[in-house]
């Protein structure tokens, strides 16, 4: 999965050496407020671990400091700036304001603002069949240089739409925030795999065997373009397909409303099929 | 003496799929436990932006991750380029377990490591 790397601000609620303890109720309120605001918080109660391992982003250390900031917090500061703020007598809402001001000073990325809804591939189950790539109309999926399916544009995914996971023949696509299993990451049972309603014939949804249609498209192109297009019939077929999508795949109405036109879908499908056909091709072999 | 397991708690802040009373109760118990721990607003959001902090979690064991379904957590980390090791990581599911069960699991582990 590829997405822009954004530096985020990490918060350390420090109650180690040199900082007085915070009452339990206040600690809980502070952490809940900061978490709901999108910040990651490390609660340090004992010991000297004030910089979370792996963190190379700005950190703000909050504490009821007795004197100067503790040495332990300063020792690992080379990778990123560490800010210290005394929170003696400060309540949870005011803590949020303090962190907000540090966030602005540090120039870190804004937390939250987007419900993180995107497919996660269970590569323990995925067979690289590319059905998801072919099916998704919003270019969420792509193919890696080593011909492996991947989630390429997670932010393109339509919130609350789990349709691609329902067409996956191996139940290999997860949406961790989905309401039901196994799409939410619950264990996959045999009945899930064989459940017919989870295996939607995507070609039927698009009005026929798209692979066969694409294979014969070039042969029939002259005839097809010579025929008068029946727009009304095409629109009716599209409407039926969309209704079927909504019913069978639990697709939100707003996603259907954002669907591309039929011509755009066909063009996109051609590109996706071409990519899918190249995907499983062994290295060094020209695609047919 | 064994290494004290690191605890990572996910607040799943951007969805309502984890029962609110469970995650609030787990967070409250953690804040009252006297144990240091890491809490994140939302592991999904961090995975989406490939937060390098996840790699730090993946390379440190033993670790206990309090979040949702283990299969989801495993592949979330993997999608972020921070695959979890096969051993040394324990994932506790707030979508299916009660706060009492999770707290007991965390406490049991702490007792074992003491």
pLDDT tens per residue, range A163-215: 999 889 899 999 999 999 999 999 998 888 766 444 555 545 554 454 454 45
A1 belongs to a structural domain: no
Asked if A155 reaches chain B (Cβ–Cβ under 8 Å), the answer is: yes
Q: Is the pLDDT of residue B107 over 80?
A: yes
Chain B residue with minimum CA distance to A12:
B38
A3 belongs to a structural domain: no
Cβ-Cβ pairs closer than 8 A, A with B, add up to 164
Shared-domain flag, residues A31 and A92: yes
A114 belongs to a structural domain: no
Higher pLDDT, A95 or A229: A95
Shared-domain flag, residues A242 and A165: yes
Shared-domain flag, residues A169 and A199: yes
Mean pLDDT of B10-34: 95
Q: Given this model, what pLDDT does residue B108 score?
A: 46
Q: Do A1 and B27 touch (CB under 8 A)?
A: no
Q: Is the pLDDT of residue A216 over 70?
A: no
Q: Do B49 and A121 touch (CB under 8 A)?
A: no
Shared-domain flag, residues A49 and A147: no
Number of domains in chain A: 2
Å between B112 CA and nearest CA of chain A: 19
Shared-domain flag, residues A129 and A101: no
Two tokens, residue B96:
């299916």
The DSSP result for chain B, as a single string, is: -PPPPEEEEE--TT-S-S-HHHHHHHHHHHHTTT--EEEES-HHHHHHTT-THHHHHHTSSSEEEEES-HHHHHHHHHHTT-PPPSSSEEEEETTTS-HHHHHHHHHHHHHHH-
Q: Do B49 and A155 touch (CB under 8 A)?
A: no
Per-residue pLDDT tens over the stretch A104-120: 988 887 777 778 999 99
Give the integer Cα–Cα distance in Å for A49 and A115. Answer: 31
Of B42, B70, B73, the CB nearest to A116: B42
Domain termination site, one of A106, A138, A169: A106
Residue A7 banded pLDDT, cuts 50, 70, 90: confident
Q: Given this model, what pLDDT does residue A52 score?
A: 52
Shared-domain flag, residues A199 and A228: yes
Contact A124, A188 (CB under 8 A): no
A190 belongs to a structural domain: yes
Q: Do B59 and A27 touch (CB under 8 A)?
A: no
Tell me the β-bridge partners of A86: A63
Helices (H), ranges, chain A: 24-36, 71-75, 92-106, 131-135, 163-167, 190-194, 202-205, 210-226, 231-249, 253-257, 262-278
B16: exposed, middle or buried (C-beta count within 10 Å: 0-12, 13-18, 19+)?
A: exposed
Q: Is the pLDDT of residue B63 over 90?
A: yes
Residue A1 banded pLDDT, cuts 50, 70, 90: low
Shared-domain flag, residues A202 and A238: yes
CB contacts, 8 Å: B30 with chain A: 43
Residue A269 banded pLDDT, cuts 50, 70, 90: low
Chain A residue with minimum CA distance to B39:
A41
Asked if A116 reaches chain B (Cβ–Cβ under 8 Å), the answer is: yes
Shared-domain flag, residues A129 and A28: no
Shared-domain flag, residues A185 and A70: no
Q: Which value, in Å, is the radius of gyration of the alpha carbons in chain A?
A: 26
Give the integer Cα–Cα distance in Å for A104 and A126. Answer: 42
Shared-domain flag, residues A126 and A34: no
Mean pLDDT of A55-78: 71
Mean pLDDT of B59-70: 93
Residue A8 banded pLDDT, cuts 50, 70, 90: confident
Q: How many CB atoms lie within 10 A of CB B57?
A: 24
Sign of the CA dihedral running B69, A46, A58, A80: negative
Per-residue pLDDT tens over the stretch A77-86: 456 788 999 9
A286 belongs to a structural domain: no
**Beta-carbon contacts of residue B92 (< 8 Å; ≥ 6 apart):** B64, B65, B66, B67, B102, B105, B106
Shared-domain flag, residues A16 and A89: yes
Shared-domain flag, residues A146 and A233: yes
**Beta-carbon contacts of residue B25 (< 8 Å; ≥ 6 apart):** B99
Distance from chain centroid for Cα A62 = 31
Per-residue pLDDT tens over the stretch A218-244: 455 445 444 444 556 656 666 666 776
* Angular region, A156: left φ>0, alpha ψ -120 to 50, beta rest: alpha
- DSSP secondary structure code for residue A197 in this structure: G
Which of A50-59, A184-193, A268-277, B1-10 is predicted least confidently?
A: A50-59
A162 belongs to a structural domain: yes
Q: Given this model, what pLDDT does residue A267 score?
A: 74
Say which residue the tokens 């696509």 belong to: A173
Q: What does DSSP say about strands A40-44 and A10-14: parallel, antiparallel, or unpaired?
A: parallel
Mean pLDDT of A142-147: 92
Range of the domain at A266: 120-278
Q: Is the pLDDT of residue B38 over 80?
A: yes
% pLDDT > 90, chain A = 39
A135 belongs to a structural domain: yes
A111 belongs to a structural domain: no
Which residues in chain A (175-234) have CB-CB distances under 8 A to chain B? 176-179, 181, 184-187
């Amino acid at each position: 999965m590829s997405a822009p790397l954004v530096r985020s601000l990490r918060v350390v609620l420090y109650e180690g050496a040199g900082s007085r303890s915070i009452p339990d109720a206040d600690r809980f309120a502070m952490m809940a407020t900061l978490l709901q605001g999108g910040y990651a918080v490390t609660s340090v109660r004992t010991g000297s671990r004030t910089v979370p391992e792996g963190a190379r982003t700005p950190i703000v250390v909050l504490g009821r400091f007795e004197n100067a900031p503790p040495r332990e917090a300063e020792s690992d500061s080379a990778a990123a700036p560490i800010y210290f703020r005394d929170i003696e007598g400060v309540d949870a809402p005011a803590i949020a304001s303090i962190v907000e001001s540090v966030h602005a000073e540090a120039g870190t990325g804004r937390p939250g603002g987007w419900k993180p809804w995107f497919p996660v591939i269970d590569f323990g189950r995925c067979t690289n069949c590319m059905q998801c790539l072919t099916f998704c109309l919003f270019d969420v999926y792509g193919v890696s240089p080593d011909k492996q399916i991947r989630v390429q544009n997670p932010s393109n995914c339509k919130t609350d739409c789990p349709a691609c996971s329902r067409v996956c023949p191996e139940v290999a696509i997860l949406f961790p925030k989905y309401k039901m299993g196994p799409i939410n990451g619950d264990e996959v049972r045999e009945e899930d795999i064989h459940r017919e309603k989870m295996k939607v014939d995507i070609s039927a949804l698009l009005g026929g065997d798209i692979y066969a249609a694409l294979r014969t498209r070039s042969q029939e192109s002259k005839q097809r373009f010579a025929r008068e297009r029946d727009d009304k019939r095409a629109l009716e077929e599209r409407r039926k397909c969309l209704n079927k999508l909504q019913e069978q795949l639990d697709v939100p109405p707003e996603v259907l409303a954002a669907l591309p036109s039929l011509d755009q879908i066909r063009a996109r499908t051609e590109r996706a099929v071409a990519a899918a056909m190249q995907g499983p091709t062994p290295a060094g072999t020209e695609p047919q | 003496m064994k290494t004290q397991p690191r605890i990572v708690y996910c607040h799943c802040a951007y969805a309502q799929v984890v029962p609110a009373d469970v995650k609030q109760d787990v967070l409250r118990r953690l804040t009252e436990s006297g144990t240091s721990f890491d809490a994140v607003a939302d592991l999904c959001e961090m995975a989406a932006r490939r937060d390098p902090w996840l790699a730090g979690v993946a390379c440190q064991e033993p670790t206990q991750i309090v979040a949702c379904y283990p299969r989801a957590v495993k592949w979330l980390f993997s999608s972020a380029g921070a695959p979890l090791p096969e051993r040394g990581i324990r994932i506790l599911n707030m979508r299916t377990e009660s706060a009492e069960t999770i707290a007991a699991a965390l406490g049991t582990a702490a007792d074992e490591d003491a």
